[in-house]
């Protein structure tokens, strides 16, 4: 997948958005290159939502593991 700047006047592809697109996200396929146009606002929102979906799980697990380890040490002493 790749992202390119949009220099012509194209509307954002998100439903209910009337802004002009600033970037184009493309995924090359067998027959054609399919993509979507996004304005800066929708791109930012999408980025934040994807961040929530993919990032926060591992730090939580590490924290839980550390607390559990401390308790185990206390029990041993
Ligand atoms: Zn938009």
Where do the domains of the chain lie? 2-76
CA–CA dist 53, 14 (Å, integer): 19
CA 1 to ligand 1 center in whole angstroms: 19
Residue numbers in the chain where pLDDT is lower than 70: 55-69, 71, 77
Q: What is the pLDDT of residue 55?
A: 67
Q: Where does the chain show beta strands of DSSP type E?
A: 2-5, 23-28, 33-38
Q: What is the pLDDT of residue 5?
A: 95
* Ligand 1 is an ion; residues with CB less than 5 A from it: 12, 14, 17, 19, 39, 42
CA 21 to ligand 1 center in whole angstroms: 7
CA 77 to ligand 1 center in whole angstroms: 58
Q: What is the pLDDT of residue 33?
A: 72
Q: What is the pLDDT of residue 32?
A: 72
């Amino acid at each position: 997948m790749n992202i390119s700047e949009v220099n012509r006047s194209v509307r954002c592809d998100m439903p209910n958005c009337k802004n002009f697109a600033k970037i184009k996200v493309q995924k090359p396929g067998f027959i054609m290159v399919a993509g979507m146009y996004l304005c800066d606002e929708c791109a930012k929102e999408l980025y934040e939502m994807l961040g929530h979906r993919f990032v926060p799980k591992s730090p939580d697990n590490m924290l839980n593991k550390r607390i559990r380890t401390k308790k185990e040490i206390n029990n041993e002493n």
